[in-house]
């Protein structure tokens, strides 16, 4: 999905510094919702979340809970990105995600157990 077609307001909203929530589904079907920092690659249609490989969200995605929702809100403006997540572990993928995170937020703290949740966006909801 090429998200550049969503326009400049959408792109700017996903460049501004906002915390997000990531929703995954536990094996019993209940939602697991946690605060995260996220970045969005508009042309590729991919969102990235850096996290520890031992985090519950990473373990859920690795175990097959790959349908996720990433949401951010600022007053009346909000956006939810739904998609399919995978866990990426290579040093190159983690470094790229860390660099993107540093551009939007600040350089992340060192974490040798870091992985990337890479989300291929399949649906966009929101109010810009």
- In three-state secondary structure terms, 88 is strand
pLDDT, tens digit only, all 128 positions of the chain: 889 999 999 999 999 999 999 999 999 999 999 999 999 999 999 999 999 999 999 999 999 999 999 999 999 999 999 999 999 999 999 999 999 999 999 999 999 999 999 999 999 999 98
Q: How far apart are CA 29 and CA 22, in angstroms?
A: 15
pTM score, whole prediction: 0.96
Burial class (CB in 10 A: 0-12, 13-18, 19+), 2: exposed
pLDDT tens readout for residues 102-128: 999 999 999 999 999 999 999 999 998
């Amino acid at each position: 999905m090429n998200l550049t077609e969503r326009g400049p307001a959408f792109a700017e909203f996903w460049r501004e510094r906002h915390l997000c929530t990531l929703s995954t589904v536990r094996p019993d079907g209940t939602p697991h919702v946690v605060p995260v920092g996220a970045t969005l690659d508009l042309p590729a249609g991919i969102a990235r979340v850096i996290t520890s490989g031992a985090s519950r969200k990473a373990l859920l995605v690795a175990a097959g809970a790959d349908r996720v929702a990433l949401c951010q809100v600022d007053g009346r403006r909000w956006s939810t990105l739904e998609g399919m997540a995978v866990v990426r572990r290579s040093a190159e993928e983690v470094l790229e995600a860390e660099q993107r995170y540093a551009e939007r937020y600040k350089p992340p703290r060192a974490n040798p157990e870091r992985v990337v949740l890479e989300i291929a966006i399949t649906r966009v909801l929101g109010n810009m």
